[in-house]
């Protein structure tokens, strides 16, 4: 059962600590947070967006259960069964539940790539026992869970976009964002001068976590490919002026020289025609006094 105080923000991820797990019903083991990452490329499966919509629709939530009510496991299973429009014919709707989410996520994380997360990270995240020897020496490790969480978020493991960050406001803030912050948090702007110590200040760049080394190579290859594709246009833009300058120096008539010459010749003529077309207003005639005869 997740409470609001179990949720924390960890760099570009959200951490959720579980007090109890499948192998720790008493809650006596370490409560290391499980990481969750966003997927801006797939809004329908982005956990960040789902949590944001849920919190926006339930502003009355207090520091307690994230999902109020009892029997959350059964309620989730029933809602999941209703959402299944084409269930497997070999299994009934009642066969799907919270265990389906855990097993399906583990299958997805371990499939489709030869360089996926380790089976130890998968078992530790799912709360499955590893045996006495493995459980004694293979403990929870944050970087492994971060890598696994990015895979489970649906990010492409063999692409540079695997290191994508969640949507966030970049520094410096836009004027509209700053105005909104001042209106929503009026006391925050007055506290900012007192929070300039290194203890409170952070880097302007949101750090990316859980990135394996090969993703950096993908990013460099993507950047190099983009720059190589832009080379022809850069060469054309640089060579054209050189050719024009060389032809003008040699006395040849080029398109650029012809345009500049015509512009210099036609410009005074256009200006003269424009000035002559301006018609000065005629002076108004003075008032004429008319003496009418007086008839007695």
User: DSSP per residue over 62-115, as a string?
Assistant: -SSBSS-SS-HHHHHHHHHHHH-SS--TTS-GGG-SHHHHHHHHHHHHTSS-TT
Residue 260: the pLDDT is: 75
- Span 14-21, average pLDDT: 82
199 pLDDT band, cuts 50/70/90, is very low
Q: What is the pLDDT of residues 100-144, one digit of tens each?
A: 788 888 888 888 777 788 888 888 888 887 777 776 777 767 788
Tokens representing 176 are 């509209």
Residue 15, classed as helix, strand or coil, is strand
> pTM for the full model?
0.62
Tokens representing 265 are 């010749």
Please classify residue 130 by burial: count the beta carbons closer than 10 Å to its beta carbon, then call 0-12 exposed, 13-18 middle and 19+ buried.
middle
How many Cβ atoms are within 10 Å of 222's Cβ, its own excluded? 13
Instruction: State what percent of residues in the chain have pLDDT above 90.
Output: 1
Minimum mean pLDDT among 29-43, 176-190, 197-211, 225-239: which range?
197-211
- Span 175-190, average pLDDT: 73
Residue 198: the pLDDT is: 47
**Residue 280 pLDDT more than 60?**
no
Q: Of 18-27, 144-153, 246-255, 282-291, which one has max mean pLDDT?
A: 144-153
**Residue 204 pLDDT more than 60?**
no
Whole-number Å distance between alpha carbons of 137 and 130: 10
Residue 84: the pLDDT is: 72
Angle at 197 between CA 191 and CA 198, to 5 degrees: 135
Tokens representing 165 are 């960050």
Q: Of 17-26, 82-91, 150-159, which one has max mean pLDDT?
A: 150-159
């Amino acid at each position: 059962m997740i409470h609001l105080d179990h949720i924390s923000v960890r760099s570009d991820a959200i951490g959720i600590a579980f007090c109890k797990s499948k192998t720790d019903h008493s809650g006596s083991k370490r409560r290391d947070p499980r990481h969750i990452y966003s997927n801006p490329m797939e809004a329908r499966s982005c956990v960040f967006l789902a949590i944001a919509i849920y919190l926006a629709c339930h502003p009355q939530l207090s520091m307690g259960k994230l999902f109020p009510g009892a029997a959350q496991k059964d309620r989730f299973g029933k809602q999941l069964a209703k959402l299944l429009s084409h269930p497997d014919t070999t299994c009934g709707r009642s066969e799907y539940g919270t265990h389906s989410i855990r097993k399906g996520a583990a299958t997805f994380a371990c499939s489709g790539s030869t360089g996926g997360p380790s089976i130890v990270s998968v078992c530790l995240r799912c709360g499955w026992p590893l045996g006495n020897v493995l459980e004694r020496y293979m403990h929870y490790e944050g970087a492994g869970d971060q890598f696994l969480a990015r895979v489970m978020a649906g990010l492409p493991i063999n692409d540079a976009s695997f290191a994508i960050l969640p949507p966030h406001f970049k520094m410096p803030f836009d004027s509209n964002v700053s105005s909104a912050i001042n209106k929503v948090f009026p006391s925050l702007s007055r506290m900012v001068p007192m929070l300039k110590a290194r203890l409170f200040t952070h880097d302007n760049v949101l750090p990316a976590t859980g990135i394996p080394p090969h993703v950096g190579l993908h990013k460099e290859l993507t950047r190099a490919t983009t720059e190589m594709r832009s080379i022809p246009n850069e060469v054309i833009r640089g060579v054209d002026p050189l050719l024009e300058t060389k032809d003008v120096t040699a006395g040849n008539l080029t398109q650029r020289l012809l345009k500049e010459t015509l512009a210099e010749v036609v410009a005074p003529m256009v200006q003269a025609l424009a000035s002559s077309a301006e018609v000065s207003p005629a002076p108004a005639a003075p008032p004429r006094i008319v003496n009418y005869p007086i008839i007695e």
